[in-house]
Structure 1
Amino acid sequence: MTRGKLTLPEIGGQAEALKAAWEQLKKQEQWAQAHIGNEKYDEVVFIGSGSSYYQAQVMASTYRLWLGRSATALPSSDIFLFRDQSVARSRQALLVGVSRSGESSEVILALEAVKDLPNWSTCGITCYEDSRLGRMTECLVSPLGKEQSTVMTKSFSSMTYMMQAAIALVAGGASSAELAAVPGLQGDVVARGRAFAENLVESNNFNKYIYLGMGAYFGLAQEVCLKLKEMSYVWTESYGTLEFRHGPKSVVEPGTLVCLLLSEQARSYELKVAEEMKAYGAFVLLVTTAKGDDTGFADAVFEIGGGSLGDEARAVMYLPVLQYLGFYTAMKRGVDPDHPRNLTQVVKI
């Protein structure tokens, strides 16, 4: 097989990438305390472009919950083009650049735009320590996040997990212990997710794809939506779960896959949405901690486990099966997920 020869093992390498990120953070505890743990900042602003922006959303959501402090996620371009509309100019702000390559033009431009402003500080997270981002500001580095394929898979998981671990380190309490368990669970999720996704794709033909999530899972829903779109060129959309009911649900009909990243915090409300979509003729896929009597209506359910963990700690466990869904959809359509048309690993202006 030549198509997908890069992407497939990279999706499969997530457990090892998470373990390496956890060990690397032990070496960079000072970074976490100096930046994430620094209470002088009124606002922490996580920025990225494309998938990195969706990572930033998960990071900001986790930061707000575990530290109880203000954080936001923005596209990188909002900072160098619309900074004062995006962040109140009077606030002491920490700008956290998120970039797999560390070379994304928009992230670099954003950091350069604030470097001489007295109320702004910067840091970052990347997979390439010798990148421009890594040289211009202090960065967390995911050592096994490096990828050859164009689309982000294990880099997304490992960087998101590593930043969450840094937040947990500062927060203390149960969150750090919960995250410590995730690498050991991820290998099983990856293995089962591959077989599940391959069978789902081979057994069905969908013409529309919708991903739904709330809280930290909203950023994940946007990311797995993008993965399917990048790899297989099919049109897909993502929404906040309850927001989908306010107009967008009009597109649902037989042949539509509605995939819900189910949280425990809002489980009963989210399942009401899924049941409604089922009634409109959608094929409903639930990705959840565990099945129950309340999930029996669904057409397919993938259990990730980790029931003793909080929603945020489980976040990256939702990714493998849905990355594989994008991969096998691409393979079925005869396209190469390694080299999507019109795309490059690094986007430069």
Structure 2
Amino acid sequence: MCGIIGFAGKAEAVPVLLDGLERLEYRGYDSAGIAVVSEDGALQVKKSKGRLSVLQKLLETQEPLSGNIGIGHTRWATHGEPNDTNAHPHVGQGGKIAVVHNGIIENYLEIKQSLMRKGFVFSSDTDTEVIVQLLEYYYRKKSDLLEAVYDVLNRIKGAYALGILCSDFPDQIVAARKDAPLLIGYGEDGNYIASDATALLAHTRTVTYMEDDEVAVLTAEGVRIFDGDRSLLEKEKHTIEWDVSAAEKCGYAHFMLKEIMEQPEAVRKTISCRIADKEIVLEELKDAKELLKNISRIYIVACGSAYHVGMVGKYALEKLLHIPVEASLASEFRYSEPLLGESALVIVISQSGETLDSMAALREAKRKGSRVLSIVNVMGSSIARESDYVLYTWAGPEIAVATTKAYTTQMVLLLLLGVYLAKQSDIIVREEYGKIVGEFQKLPEKISAVLNNLKDYQKSASRYFNHNSVFYIGRNVDYALGLEGSLKLKEISYIHSESYAAGELKHGTISLIEPGTLVIALAMYEPLAEKTLSNIVEVRSRGAEVIAITTELTAQLIGSQSSELFVLPETHPLLQPVLGVIPLQLFAYYVALNRGCDIDKPRNLAKSVTVE
């Protein structure tokens, strides 16, 4: 959520800032703005509510901004409604300092009241304006920008990624971070800050990831990075392996469809480097056998779709490892007094590796002595850096807000982990292990087979897109899949939908079924297919229309009671959810398309949630 871009270089800053903001649109936002320092030291700011196109028109119709140094921001409203005044950048009362900010300042009201008593006047409802006014207060006292920045950081509490301009220092940007992602890019024409590497790909792939409590000063000539004690640091530089084409639509109507279609290759990348000579090889977990010796409980902690991966993982890992596994929402984890300690392994799943609730859960687990293993997509992200073990999905950039290939690769990697740990602990028999490994290797081909039937999902969506309420039912892992299918439909089509464990229908939910109600029945878990069939019969007898998704093994059984049937290739039961989620993604996509929704940027949502 929210996006930051900054540039200090030799070229005009405005085109660089607008290009970066355009590439950050996928993160979700409701206003945008830029600030540029001109050659003569004037601070120039333009910002507006709405899409980036509104800001671009504003810049075209008014006096152009000129300068070689600037900061830009796309805002997702937290404090204060979306409007021009609350948009970033925010400018101090003296008109010299501009700030862009991701995160939330927890003690902003206390600081705001203190500054108002000193004569400061606030124009916005945001916590960010408190930062810039406080910065101006300290700058007036000391006339040293860097000293003033450190004074501010020592005063504020909460999460922040900051980009700061001061017209008295027209050749530099100051950046700072704590609990919110911020990286530095090194280019031939200048240097950059960004909240996401996607914003920099057109200019550089060489980056440094800022750590908590670090402060950076950027000019066209170079970058200096300081720690919390103001000591100069030598930071490692990293190369982003994917290029700008990976963050473009490449002929697809939407990023979401592109990313759905990329799943065979994404899964292949996740698997190929981890299976050799019919063996699962996880170099990151060489001491796996020793790790599991004292583990009596596993927590899988995540938010949103990643939590749904954890729900599938709970069923799989308990079956494979014979250890109790609990899937926990990261936002609830710290407050439920989990039984942590040396006997608990905590698996944190996050696409961005920056999800704040997941980050807080990780730190709580480590504070109480638990080992933490993370599954993330972004190298060098905060969760990856602070985990004891990290497994990267290698899914490549995911631009659409509604996750597809990140979800699938997370699931594949979690299942790979479960089978690997079972083998290392001598729990799984050799024959079963060989079958599962073989099916892992066939997954990309079978996902491609599901994707060959796009017209079937288009046709189905065109029949059902006008329903106002949809129910997903399933048992065991099918119930977990239903949670993800329901979320996808809600996220991008704005249709109310819910997922229920099918056996719970008779305990209240069936009262909502009436003639014409759409029910999506998931019956891919073969051992419980007959029981799911009885639930399909229950809703059909009350007039529901049923779309059923099953495998070749039970197609005849389930199809006999369905209005519409999607049949998936059969694989090992452990891996069936990987194939099962594809129809749910496609159905949601085509329903949203029929409803004319903004599929890649659904309302009120952000790609990476970096506030609590």
> TM-score over 0.5 for the alignment?
yes
Matched, 1:136 2:386: yes
- Gapped runs of 5+ residues in structure 1? none
4+ residue stretches of structure 1 with deviation over 6 A? none
Aligned equivalent of 2:520: 259
TM-score (norm 1): 0.92
- Secondary structure of the 1:144 match is coil
- Secondary structure of the 1:312 match is coil
Evaluate the alpha carbon distance shift between residue 35 and residue 209 of structure 1 in structure 2; reply closer, same or farther with a 3 A threshold. Answer: farther
Indicate which of 35, 46, 49 corresponds to 2:303.
49
Matched, 1:298 2:562: yes
How far the C-alpha of 1:32 sits from its partner, in A, is 4.5
How far the C-alpha of 1:220 sits from its partner, in A, is 1.1
Paired with 2:450 and 2:252, the residues of 1 have a C-alpha distance of 24
- Gapped runs of 5+ residues in structure 2? 1-248, 424-432
How far the C-alpha of 1:312 sits from its partner, in A, is 2.1
Paired with 2:516 and 2:324, the residues of 1 have a C-alpha distance of 41
How far the C-alpha of 1:11 sits from its partner, in A, is 0.8
Paired with 1:61 and 1:43, the residues of 2 have a C-alpha distance of 14
User: Quick check: which one's strand share is greater?
Assistant: 2
Matched, 1:96 2:96: no
Aligned equivalent of 2:411: 160
How far the C-alpha of 1:146 sits from its partner, in A, is 2.8
- Secondary structure of the 2:610 match is coil
Aligned equivalent of 2:421: 170
Indicate which of 453, 460, 463 corresponds to 1:203.
463
Aligned equivalent of 2:402: 151
Greater length-normalized contact order (CA 8 Å, ≥ 6 residues apart): 1
How far the C-alpha of 1:145 sits from its partner, in A, is 4.7
Q: Which of 1 and 2 has greater Rg?
A: 2
Number of aligned pairs?
342
* AA matched with 1:157: T
How far the C-alpha of 1:33 sits from its partner, in A, is 5.3
Aligned equivalent of 1:114: 365
Paired with 1:219 and 1:7, the residues of 2 have a C-alpha distance of 22
* AA matched with 1:125: I
How far the C-alpha of 1:247 sits from its partner, in A, is 0.7
Paired with 2:501 and 2:386, the residues of 1 have a C-alpha distance of 35
How far the C-alpha of 1:261 sits from its partner, in A, is 1.2
Evaluate the alpha carbon distance shift between residue 324 and residue 294 of structure 1 in structure 2; reply closer, same or farther with a 3 A threshold. Answer: closer
How far the C-alpha of 1:3 sits from its partner, in A, is 9.7
Indicate which of 330, 334, 338 corresponds to 1:76.
330
Paired with 2:333 and 2:284, the residues of 1 have a C-alpha distance of 23
How far the C-alpha of 1:249 sits from its partner, in A, is 1.1
Aligned equivalent of 2:283: 30
- Secondary structure of the 1:115 match is helix
Aligned equivalent of 1:330: 592
Matched, 1:270 2:532: yes
How far the C-alpha of 1:23 sits from its partner, in A, is 1.6
Q: Deviations 1:176-221 (Å, cap 9, x if unpaired)? A: 33322222211011221x2221100113342321111221222211
Assess if the C-alpha contact under 8 Å between 1:48 and 1:76 holds in 2.
Answer: yes
Evaluate the alpha carbon distance shift between residue 254 and residue 176 of structure 1 in structure 2; reply closer, same or farther with a 3 A threshold. Answer: same
* AA matched with 1:201: A
- Secondary structure of the 2:526 match is coil
Aligned equivalent of 1:127: 377
Paired with 1:245 and 1:195, the residues of 2 have a C-alpha distance of 35
Evaluate the alpha carbon distance shift between residue 111 and residue 344 of structure 1 in structure 2; reply closer, same or farther with a 3 A threshold. Answer: same
Mapping for residues 230-269 of structure 1, pairs under 5 Å: 230-262=491-523, 263-269=525-531
Report % sequence identity. 25
Matched, 1:60 2:311: no
> What do you get for the CA RMSD once the two structures are aligned?
2.0
How far the C-alpha of 1:169 sits from its partner, in A, is 2.4
Q: Deviations 1:75-110 (Å, cap 9, x if unpaired)? A: 01232222x2xx335671111110011010000001
Paired with 2:285 and 2:601, the residues of 1 have a C-alpha distance of 35
Aligned equivalent of 2:261: 12
Evaluate the alpha carbon distance shift between residue 3 and residue 26 of structure 1 in structure 2; reply closer, same or farther with a 3 A threshold. Answer: closer
Deviates more, 1:146-155 or 1:290-299: 290-299
Matched, 1:183 2:444: yes
Paired with 1:301 and 1:280, the residues of 2 have a C-alpha distance of 19
Aligned equivalent of 2:107: none
Deviates more, 1:151-160 or 1:242-251: 242-251
Evaluate the alpha carbon distance shift between residue 3 and residue 335 of structure 1 in structure 2; reply closer, same or farther with a 3 A threshold. Answer: farther
Evaluate the alpha carbon distance shift between residue 232 and residue 151 of structure 1 in structure 2; reply closer, same or farther with a 3 A threshold. Answer: same
Aligned equivalent of 2:542: 280
User: Quick check: which one's helix share is greater?
Assistant: 1
Assess if the C-alpha contact under 8 Å between 2:469 and 2:497 holds in 1.
Answer: yes
